[in-house]
Amino acid sequence: MVIGYFNGEFIPVEQAVIPIDERGHQFGDGVYEVIRVYNGKPFMLDEHIERLIKSGEAIKLRMEKTAEELQQIIHEAVQKSQLNNCDVYIQVTRGIATRKHLFPDAPVSITMTVRPMQVTEETEREKGKTAIFHEDERWTNCYIKSLNLLPNILAKQTAQEAGCYEAILVKDGFVTEGTSSNVYLVKDDSIYTTPLSKQILPGITRMAVKECAEKLGIPFIEKHFTPDELLQADEVFITSTTNEIMPIVRIDESVIQDGSAGKLTTALFEKFKESIDIVQPI
């Protein structure tokens, strides 16, 4: 069952009404997380909640709830959904108040949905996805998982209109990340990805991939790279909570090597699956 939650109440998603003066909806004044639940267990929940709290701190949002309380709300919603494999969306905003830019004296709003997991078919992953390069037009604080996603949305839409799946963002001649994913290249049996900074989101899947690479003995090198270097790579892939590990086989008109999912990317995904322990994907 799809579950909706708004400020302490569980509600059918289609009936949920957000007050006109809710700041998430008027200003995008809030932060969010997307968390995947495998076999009833939210994957890397501690890390997601820690990032949510850090995002809140970065925008001076008083979270009002402890990490444990936030986890509790998520567990309750997942239980109510009766879904073993699902995607949780949670956002925390600066609350409801008559529209003014300055921070209101209002309690935060917490909104959540729990929906069946959007499973990627294995054949789709074997084929890989395509991408475009796109100017990174976002602000300088992309480490904050903020609700303000307009540049991401516009770039992703441009990708789709070009028949592609993701837009790989480029700033000052270097790749930063995807519109909703982190980006990696494989060269000479090492994995390269953009170093953490204010310019990219510290992906939770990125963390998991780093661990998987260590377990497999594959060097994981955090180093800036250019679009050209990406095109010359042996393999390219992206990661996110919902894509997990996804090969990229073409960017703009350039096919990456032979245009199929890379060996090392596939090995990494196998290791990742062990860590999430998928017993019975729905």
Q: Which residues of 212-248 are buried (b: 16+ CB within 10 A; e: fewer)?
A: bbeeeebebeeebbebeebbebbbbbbbbbebbbbbb
| Footprint of ligand PDD (CB under 6 A) | 34, 177, 180-182, 201, 203-206, 239-242
* CB closer to ligand PDD out of 201 and 261: 201
Which one, 239 or 265, has the nearer CB to ligand PDD? 239
Between residues 177 and 235, which has the closer beta carbon with respect to ligand PDD?
Answer: 177
CB of 170 to ligand PDD, least distance (A): 14
User: 3-state DSSP helix/strand/coil percent for the chain, to nearest 5?
Assistant: 30, 30, 40
Pairing label, strands 220-222, 235-240: unpaired
* 145: annotated active-site residue: yes
Least separation in angstroms between residue 204's CB and ligand PDD is: 4
Q: Rounded to whole angstroms, how far apart are CA atoms 178 and 206?
A: 13
For residue 13, which phi and psi values (nearest 5 degrees)? Answer: -55, -40
Judged by beta carbon, residue 130 or residue 182, the one nearer ligand PDD is 182
Contact 189, 218 (CB under 8 A): yes
Closest contact distance (angstroms) between CB of 99 and ligand PDD is 25
Contact between residue 5 and residue 73 where contact means Cβ atoms under 8 Å apart: yes
Task: Please enumerate in sequence order all residues whose Cβ is within 8 A of that of 167, keeping only pairs 6 or more positions apart, or say none.
Answer: 131, 132, 133, 134, 155, 156, 158, 159, 178, 179
Among 145, 156, 171, 271, the active-site one is: 145
Which of residues 130 and 152 has its CB atom nearest to ligand PDD in the complex? 152
**Closest distance to ligand PDD from the beta carbon of 161 (Å):** 20
Least distance in angstroms from the C-beta of 6 to ligand PDD: 19
Report the catalytic residues.
145
